[in-house]
Amino acid sequence: MDRIPILQMGDLLLVTIQVDMHDQLALTLQDDLSDRIQKTSARGVLIDISALDIVDSFIGRMISTISALASIMDARTVVVGMQPAVAITLVELGLTLANVQTALNVERGMKLLQQRNDEDAP
């Protein structure tokens, strides 16, 4: 079975999607990511979709669902690397990606997550 690797960097998880997503792979990623958040007590999740040329409505909803799950588990999600064509498609499909924050690239996304975690620190 195909899996998307999930890397841990301190209290953050990094997911880099390098292959075309199909429905089963998206569902597997959702399960794997929620397990990893629970096991590692991750405070943030960065999802890099820069290699994706196409995002359909199912994959868009899965990204939103992953973000909602992470939020419930006390982790923030940032999606980075969205190509203009993908953004246009999501808007045309009417998907708002609630609870999903975005950044232009991995560096900005990491800074955003670190900044938020620093603000939440006691």
pLDDT digits (tens, 9 = 90+) for 104-119: 999 999 999 988 777 7
In a domain, 98, yes or no: yes
User: From CA 102, how far away is CA 28, in angstroms rounded?
Assistant: 22
pLDDT, averaged across the chain: 89
State the Cα–Cα distance between residues 109 and 8, nearest whole angstrom.
15
* Assigned domain for 1 exists: no
pLDDT value of residue 53: 85
- Give the residues across from 102 on adjacent strands: 79
Residues spanned by the domain of 19: 6-120
pTM of the model: 0.90
Number of domains in the chain: 1
Mean predicted confidence (pLDDT) in 80-95 = 90
Q: Given the structure tokens 């399960």, which residue do they identify?
A: 31
Q: Please answer whether residues 83 and 51 qualify as being in contact, where contact means their C-beta atoms are separated by less than 8 angstroms.
A: no
Cα separation of 63 and 51, whole Å?
Answer: 15
Q: What's the pLDDT at 98?
A: 74
Q: Is residue 116 part of a domain?
A: yes
Which amino acid makes up residue 71? S
Q: pLDDT at position 121, please?
A: 64
Q: Which residue has the higher pLDDT, 55 or 8?
A: 8
Pairing of strands 44-48, 76-80: parallel
pLDDT at residue 1, as a whole number: 55
Residues pairing with 6 in the sheet: 15
CATH of the domain at 107: 3.30.750.24
Percent of the chain with pLDDT over 90: 57
